[in-house]
Amino acid sequence: MNTGIKHARHLDAQDELKHYRNEFYIPKDTIYFDGNSLGLLSIRAEQAVDTIMESWKMHAIDGWTEGTHPWFYLSEKLGKMSASLVGAKPEEVIVTGSTTTNLHQLVASFFQPEGNKTKILADELNFPSDIYALKSQLKQKGLDPEEHLIQVKSTNNTLDTQDIIDAMTDDVALIVLPSILYRSGQILDMQTLTKEAHKRGILIGFDLCHSIGSIPHQLIDWGVDFAFWCTYKHLNGGPGSVGGLYVNEKHFGNDPGLAGWFSSSKEKQFDMDHTLTPADDASAYQIGTPNVLSAAPLLGSLEMFQEAGINKIRQKSLQLTNYLMKLVETELVGFTFTIANPRNDNTRGGHVFLEHPEAARICKALKADGVIPDFRNPNGIRLAPVALYNTFEEVWQMIQILKTIMNEERYKKFENKRGVIA
């Protein structure tokens, strides 16, 4: 494989998605490879916020039902715009809440311990907040997390499908797993895991935070019971932007575990009845009033995903990460970097995960030289070239900068420990 600068520019010239880069605000003199933590602001997202603000200015309270994007129906509209990204029907998706509040809602709704089925199956590599929520839900039901939360063991930052299946014992009532592991970028076999869970009468859901907007999903075809996600990573919704969730239509008609004002059927909501009539779709899993201003950027961002198509985005993402890994192998020989993410395209998400004993100070040195990576304790460097706004030439440039940092030992100027926010 040719890896030089000319090859990088050739790949950029052939890139069908290259024009989208012009729609994003790229920090000056910066190579931004942290889009799997926080995506960049786009012009369309900015304009969408302006549109919602103008609606507030012009319509005041009537903005709930008037204007270009009536707020009363905004969560449902954004759900429809998101549905193709997860392979769901529009009515099965709602943009609402946050990752953790949505997880609390879904576990409260679907975890119904009965008889000997009292355990939740998770894993030891998931993002901490998911585990916090699962333990909290167990405590709410008077169950000891030490006994009733099963966490599948890992090997080298990855999970084995058979190990997860073997943990699907008769006492498991619910399974919650990540679609992509946030460190290594491993994609779990959601289809197989769902099939095996249902064989055993277990409901299963997935955290899509690191996969939505990065890889295609087929949640309906796979039969997944529920899913939830954030929108500020690959979806570029902005810091703290509103989350999303999916509920398979076979579960429609059940009361949400945590009922609230916007759980209601739209037609009944302003009857002000003290008995809830839940919406007959995923809208029932909303709780409070939509965070309209935090949802607004998604109107612009999701529009680009609809245009580009997740399959083309995935194709370029794989090209970018394959090119990055090849450069690591050819340009960084002798510097003890380990590629710790899956190499196979079918099991690798949207980032490359490098391990190095000096990872924290190397990340600081990269930032000092204009490259924005992501450090993961204790020795991980995540590099996420994003299909909509990163280029192959940037990948090549980043590797040359990293090579210089290692050759000149520039990283030794920094302390090998993480900052307050890693």
Helices (H), ranges, 226-351: 292-308, 310-331
Q: Which of 77, 364, 382, 410 is an active site residue?
A: 382
Q: Which of 21, 183, 233, 361 is an active site residue?
A: 233
211, 180 Cβ separation under 8 angstroms: yes
> 127 among the known binding-site residues?
yes
> 100 among the known binding-site residues?
yes
405, 366 Cβ separation under 8 angstroms: yes
Instruction: Give the separation between CA 197 and CA 160, rounded to whole angstroms.
Output: 15
> 128 among the known binding-site residues?
yes
In 3D, which of 342, 347, 333, 302 has the Cα closest to residue 399?
A: 333
Instruction: Give the separation between CA 90 and CA 83, rounded to whole angstroms.
Output: 5
Q: Cα(first)–Cα(last) distance of the chain, in Å?
A: 34
Q: DSSP states of 70-135 as a string?
A: -GGGHHHHHHHHHHHHHT--GGGEEE-S-HHHHHHHHHHHH---BTTB-EEEEESSS-HHHHHHHH
Instruction: Give the separation between CA 370 and CA 179, rounded to whole angstroms.
Output: 31
Q: How many CB atoms lie within 10 A of CB 369?
A: 15
Q: What are phi and psi of 338, to 5 degrees?
A: -115, 125
> 261 among the known binding-site residues?
yes
Q: Any catalytic annotation for residue 232?
A: yes
Q: What are phi and psi of 229, to 5 degrees?
A: -165, 165
Strand partners, 205: 176, 226
Strand partners, 420: none
If you ran DSSP here, which 8-state letter would residue 372 be given?
A: E
Q: Which of 73, 127, 335, 414 is an active site residue?
A: 127
Instruction: Give the separation between CA 386 and CA 89, rounded to whole angstroms.
Output: 26
- Distance of CA 113 to CAs 94, 120, 143, 194, 209, Å? 26, 9, 10, 19, 27
> 289 among the known binding-site residues?
yes
Return the sign of the alpha-carbon dihedral for residues 228, 26, 4, 313: positive
Q: DSSP states of 374-401 as a string?
A: EEETTTEEEEB--TTT--HHHHHHHHHH
Q: Any catalytic annotation for residue 314?
A: no
> 414 among the known binding-site residues?
no
Q: Any catalytic annotation for residue 73?
A: no
Q: Which of 24, 232, 353, 389 is an active site residue?
A: 232
206, 178 Cβ separation under 8 angstroms: yes
Q: How many CB atoms lie within 10 A of CB 2?
A: 10
> 198 among the known binding-site residues?
no
226, 245 Cβ separation under 8 angstroms: yes
> 99 among the known binding-site residues?
yes
Q: Which of 34, 123, 207, 225 is an active site residue?
A: 207
Task: Name the CA radius of gyration of the chain, rounded.
Answer: 22
Active site amino acids: 127, 207, 232-233, 382
Binding-site residues for pyridoxal 5'-phosphate, please?
99-100, 127-130, 207, 210, 232, 261, 289
Binding-site residues, please?
99-100, 127-130, 207, 210, 232, 261, 289
